Amino acid sequence: MSIRLSDDDLLLVIDVQNDFCAGGALAVADGDAVVPVINRLTERFGHVALTQDWHPSGHSSFATSHPGSAAFETIRMPYGEQTLWPDHCVQGTTGAAFHRQLATERAELVIRKGFRPEIDSYSAFHENDRRTPTGLAGYLRERGLQRIFLAGLATDYCVYYSAMDARRLGFDTVIIEAGCRAIDLAGSLGAAWAAMAAAGVQRVNDLG
């Protein structure tokens, strides 16, 4: 599918960080493969923003913060169900840094998320309580950016949550599948694609 880009389009690059790539604490299978795709896409957009997972040590989403629990278990938190993760993207560590081959020079904005110790944050727009905003929506509206193209890691978590929030907030939303990779935990990828389709998220393999 060929899509004509305009000056009110934004490429939103989700969490292409060392801990989500090969050798990282929460590596997504084939995660490194998104880097050349995203670098190529970056050259085509007039506006680019990045998100960066940015957890303090001992974050409440880490399995190590819950004695007796294991990574990938689900627990109840005050804001709802929370998957427990291996310690990852700890502020200031190499794991939290962007992949060294990711082209970041043209990014106009970096949104850090997950820095509140008591709540996780998958979406680029809201923390997992679905109420606390990151400020991204206001930024996009003030800049007059109306259509959001998403790529990054992982399709079924941070990309998915970001896309769903973008639609809920009234933005036209497109997932570029070639620039994403998934965790697919207990069928999460299929569920994410179904929910995004129902919400009106457009899915393309790549930009022709």
Which one of 15, 19, 53, 87 is the catalytic residue? Answer: 15
DSSP H/E element including 142: helix 136-143
The 8-class DSSP code of residue 155 comes to I
State the Cα–Cα distance between residues 125 and 135, nearest whole angstrom: 7
Options 32, 89, 113, 120, the catalytic residue: 113
Backbone angles phi, psi at 6, to 5 degrees: -135, 175
CB–CB of 90/25 below 8 Å?
A: no
* Active-site position among 21, 89, 158, 180: 158
**Is position 158 annotated as part of the catalytic site?**
yes
From 170, 114, 161, 174, select the one nearest 138 (Cα to Cα): 170
Cα–Cα distances in angstroms (integers) from residue 188 to residues 65, 66, 128, 183, in the given order: 24, 23, 17, 8
List the catalytic residues: 15, 113, 158
